Amino acid sequence: MLGGMDVSYYHGNPATALHGDICSPVATNPTWNDLDSNARATLEQDGGPLWHDLVKVLQPHIVTLSVARRHLRRIKFSPITDQADLHVFESTTERHLLMFSKVLVANRGEIAVRINQTLRALGIAPVAVHSDADAGAPHVTTAEQAVALPGNTAEETYLNIGTMVQAARDCGADAVHPGYGFLSENPQFARACREAQLTFIGPTAESMADLGDKLRSKEIARRAGVPVVPSSPVPPRAAVAAGCAWSNGRRELDADMEAAGREAQAAFGDGRVFLERYVANPRHVEVQVLADGAGHTIHLGERECSIQRRHQKIIEETPSPALTPDLRQRMGDAAIAVAREAGYVNAGTVEFLLAPRSGEFYFLEMNARLQVEHPVTEAVLGLDMVQWQVRIASGEPLTLQQEDIQPRGHAIECRIYAEDPYRDFVPSTGTLLRWRPPSGPGLRLDSGVVQGQEVSIYYDPMLAKLIAWAPDRELSRRRMDVALSQFLVLGVVTNIPLLRSVLGHPQFQRGQYDTGFLEWNPAVTRPAMTDESRMMARALGAWAAGQPVGSLAPVVGSDGPPNVSPWRSAGERRLP
């Protein structure tokens, strides 16, 4: 069983390939090879498909009707025209049989590893793509086949639509999973996949384009009856693409708009800006939705995402400590309404700004992709989001009903970044000399790195996501804090100390925080010196200065200015 779904139906591995081969021929199931040969001979002799005989041949080894059709197209069978025979063919294939034999994962890092795992569990061959810098990365070693994308920069590799589509076609992939980031919300990429007869595991290019435009997406929300932030002459925001680009409201409005326009043009190729009323001290709450091609849409509960740095989330949890049962239902209903109005299919997330005092919430945007923080939803619901993405993309109906969604317990996710939180979050690069993640009950690690790997300058510095589940929030918080204390990383600087500071802060413990948490609590982003670390620093500093270490007495607290490291007053001495 996987995510509540029995995967024992799958009849063998449909495609295998030696790892590391670049677009090497796939050693497919011999039955399929035989079928292709026999069917080709049938075409030459009889000039058309013998449907009932074909059904008998395919039945023991069929993956889905769509795969069969693809094989028929490949050997130039005529289109299906006999509806009676089509009904016979379809009736012999059960629901829950996956349509894909091979999926290209158009991403890297932890999300590509995570997608590979689900694809393998479903009997689908994952195909990795990699830049020169990522040639030996875990997302490559966990795939069955790998395609090299020459170059290192994102523009050369993971953002190159033409190269990505060609890689999928050359390796015989049936579908493409974009993950998150990179091309995941690019409607041109989704359209290019469709034109190449590749299934894009996600929404349509049209709904993606509508939701990616801030102005159009707000109009969709209005039509759905969902509140949006009223317009007002306040700091501008870029009109397109995911994420926030708020400017400083204390500057002149004209200068703000000009700067925001330049930023939007440079980042998204669209210099439009619009004005929104400022929502003071909001919480960032999002609702996960699933929708199939028949219009059946449900929500999977909310995620609290208010702990952010530079408008990017670093800690997420579910359920949100800010929501009442009534507010939770209203936000869930609103998310479904937006998805339906947009004609959305597959997994998506509707994001809201929540004014804690009034309880009012406003539509922010809809992310047309799998979210980074989806594991916390999986943890409390016991389902596999990627599996549902694949099943929906294959044409399966969404069998889950809203009443089936019954969260259990509490889950917290921390994003582990290679960055220095005490130096304005500057990325940290280098070799991972030691990488020893924690383990234990209720813990899950989604990682994209291994010990000895080089953390490069080319990509996002996120190394992994640590998820802690427990029956209640406080136990989940404590479990996460202990796990972070056991997380050993050497070679690069990480944000683990910052994450622990947030988890231990009284406001977080009470669940009373908003998106300005780090701004209102600057001490959290300053390094803290414990008594033990102070004593060690004093001892090593004394040794470095040539002073007797044994004469140092234990100290409690600081004998100097707050947050000043004893290393700075130790003098200089060349180490042997």
361, β-bridge pairs: 354
**Could you write out the DSSP letters of every residue in 66-102?**
HHHHHHHHHTTPPPP--HHHHHHHHHTS-TT--S-SE
As a whole number of angstroms, the distance between CA 274 and CA 260 comes to 10
Closest CA to 154 of 267, 239, 22: 267
Place of tokens 């239902």: 329
- The yes-or-no answer on residue 369 being catalytic is yes
As a whole number of angstroms, the distance between CA 126 and CA 104 comes to 6
Which residues are within 8 A (CB) of 377 and not within 5 positions of it... i.e. 6 or more apart? 288, 300, 301, 303, 318, 385, 411
367, β-bridge pairs: 349
302, β-bridge pairs: 287
* Residue pair 140/130 in contact by the 8 Å Cβ criterion: yes
Q: In what order do the strands lie in the sheet with 462-470?
A: 360-367, 346-355, 283-291, 297-309, 312-318, 410-417, 462-470, 443-447
Q: Could you tell me how far CA 128 lies from the centroid of its own chain?
A: 16
Instruction: Collapse the DSSP code of 213 into the 3-class scheme (helix H, G, I; strand E, B; otherwise coil) and give the result.
Output: strand
Q: Dihedral of the CA atoms 261, 236, 321, 330 (nearest 10)?
A: -100
Which residues are within 8 A (CB) of 255 and not within 5 positions of it... i.e. 6 or more apart? none
Catalytic residue (choose from 369, 477, 500, 534): 369
Instruction: Collapse the DSSP code of 141 into the 3-class scheme (helix H, G, I; strand E, B; otherwise coil) and give the result.
Output: helix
548, β-bridge pairs: none
H/E element, 376:
helix 374-381
Distance set, CA 448 to CA 314, 337, 451 (Å): 17, 35, 11
Instruction: Collapse the DSSP code of 239 into the 3-class scheme (helix H, G, I; strand E, B; otherwise coil) and give the result.
Output: coil
Question: Residue 453: is it exposed, middle or buried by C-beta count within 10 angstroms (0-12/13-18/19+)?
Answer: middle
Instruction: Collapse the DSSP code of 414 into the 3-class scheme (helix H, G, I; strand E, B; otherwise coil) and give the result.
Output: strand
H/E element, 544:
helix 531-544
β-pair type (454-455, 312-318): unpaired
Catalytic positions are 369
